[in-house]
Amino acid sequence: MGEKMSTLLGQVAKGKVIDENSNFYFVQLEDGLTYKLDKKEIKKPLKNGSLFGGFVYENANHERQMTRVQPKATSGKYGWGTVVKTRKDLGVFVDVGLPDKDVVISLDELPTETSIWPHSGDQILVYLSVDKKERMWAHPADSEVFKAISVRASKSMVNKNVKATAFRLKMAGTLVLTTNFNLGFIHASERDREPRLGEQLNARVIGVHPDGTLNLSLKPRNYEALGDDAAMILAMVEHTTEKSLPFNDKSNPESIKKQFGISKGRFKMALGHLLKAGVIKQTADGIFLKEK
């Protein structure tokens, strides 16, 4: 008879309170088994015979438990799981909001290269399943799911900064979903290292495709990679009405020191960076912001 009854684990089920102790109620469900319910979850005391419905699972001590907390992910619903730890021989443990229970993503569903496995705090979109041995697993969402939940980006996104989560790692680049639910792609040439699965990234929009997906870069804008002196000079040029300053590499050291607070040597080096980055131009009259 036990074989005919499919497990209730991983589902919302109803049952009757049949007993209690100082910390837990004990609820018997339709499978004839008893599940613990933490009294801390219940504001108004339950009586014996009371009906109670909740999500049922096996806790970290392999005890059957039920909770009124609706987990972020279930067998029928995708939700973001937060990575809490990794085990190279087993997989990645994610918190989907269940009391006293983290769910494992099997190493079979993770990148072969463990260096790009998620770290603690990373986010993975998952759904849950329970196998024949009644073990609960989390499964990462595939590209089709991300496509289904995404929205088209507008052309005005170009050059904007976005936050995004890496969900698919490919040789050619990384697929991500932004916090605004736009799909994005980071080409291998637009990153200094391969992001981890589930890593939260600060990226810059460098293009918008006709289908509303984004091309992103993890590399700093030219001026962000320039160093403090160059960034300071650029900011000063940008904040003038004429977008120019009457200084160049021929200016005398005293006037440079007075205007910028740095030596002529440092000024010339910073100027070199700005010219190389193509953000300013230099003439006999001074330096000018280049038109974008």
- For residues 4 and 72, what is the distance between their CA atoms, to the nearest angstrom? 29
pLDDT attached to residue 5: 46
Residue 6 has pLDDT above 90, yes or no: no
pLDDT attached to residue 174: 96
- Region 104-121: what's the mean pLDDT? 95
- For residues 140 and 117, what is the distance between their CA atoms, to the nearest angstrom? 13
Single-letter amino acid code for the residue at 251 = S
* pLDDT band with cut points at 50, 70 and 90 for residue 279: confident
How many other CB atoms sit within 10 Å of the CB of residue 214? 26
Quote the strand ranges of the chain, DSSP E: 12-20, 24-29, 34-38, 51-58, 64-67, 79-87, 91-95, 103-106, 123-130, 136-140, 161-169, 173-178, 183-187, 200-208, 214-217, 244-245, 280-283, 286-289
CA angle 32, 35, 40 (to 5 degrees): 150
pLDDT attached to residue 151: 97
Q: In terms of Cα–Cα distance, which of 136, 143, 139 is closest to 127? A: 139
Percent with pLDDT over 90 in the chain: 77
Residue 128 has pLDDT above 60, yes or no: yes
> pLDDT for 239-262, tens place per residue?
888 899 999 999 999 999 999 889
- For residues 229 and 61, what is the distance between their CA atoms, to the nearest angstrom? 58
CA angle 122, 128, 132 (to 5 degrees): 135
Indicate the average pLDDT of the chain. 91
- Region 111-137: what's the mean pLDDT? 95
- Region 160-171: what's the mean pLDDT? 93
- Region 48-59: what's the mean pLDDT? 95
Q: What is the CA radius of gyration of the chain?
A: 28
pLDDT attached to residue 3: 40
* pLDDT band with cut points at 50, 70 and 90 for residue 171: confident
| Domains delineated in the chain | 12-67 (2.40.50.330), 79-141 (2.40.50.140), 151-217 (2.40.50.140), 223-289 (1.10.10.10)
Residue 144 has pLDDT above 50, yes or no: yes
